[in-house]
């Protein structure tokens, strides 16, 4: 079931974010992700519109939108490959006609996923926090 997140979901969302970040971004030191947890809780999550995928009373993934920016899309590593990411992205697409995002170049799985979901690469840059190269991607609804 996909539903809008409530404040009670914050801990579960942070757990999903940390576990998935550690797995997907193994080219960035794990300490970086551990250090970002409080900033996520205090600054980033409160400013986002968040939708969660809940199965068996457990948050298994989430998508976070800030205006037309897809700020986060994460699925627990043990729940991946079950269509959760696509379902969450489809929910985001229902909310917005246009979406933009940034994704690390080395995160091949995510780059391929977004490309398959009709996102186009619009540019490249360097993430200020990690000094890692990243792609800027956009999605435009055709409806």
pTM: 0.93
Q: Is the dihedral of CA 73, 75, 76, 80 positive or negative?
A: negative
pLDDT of res. 143: 62
Residue ranges per structural domain of the chain: 2-140
Q: How far apart are CA 42 and CA 36, in angstroms?
A: 10
Give the pLDDT of residue 49.
95
Mean pLDDT by 10 residues, the chain (143 residues): 94 95 93 91 89 94 96 94 95 96 96 96 96 97 75
Superfamily of domain 2-140: Gcn5-related N-acetyltransferase (GNAT) (3.40.630.30)
């Amino acid at each position: 079931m996909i539903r809008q997140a409530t404040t009670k979901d914050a801990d579960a969302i942070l757990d999903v974010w940390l576990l998935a970040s550690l797995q997907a971004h193994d080219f960035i030191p794990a300490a970086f992700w551990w250090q970002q947890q409080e900033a996520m809780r205090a600054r980033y999550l409160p400013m986002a519109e968040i939708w969660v995928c809940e199965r068996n009373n457990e948050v298994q993934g989430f998508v976070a939108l800030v205006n037309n920016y897809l700020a986060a899309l994460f699925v627990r590593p043990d729940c991946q490959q079950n269509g959760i990411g696509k379902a969450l992205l489809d929910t985001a697409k229902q909310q917005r006609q246009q979406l933009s995002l940034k994704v690390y170049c080395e995160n091949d799985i995510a780059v391929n996923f977004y490309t398959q979901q009709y996102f186009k690469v619009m540019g490249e840059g360097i993430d200020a926090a990690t000094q890692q190269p990243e792609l800027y991607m956009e999605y435009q609804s055709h409806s």
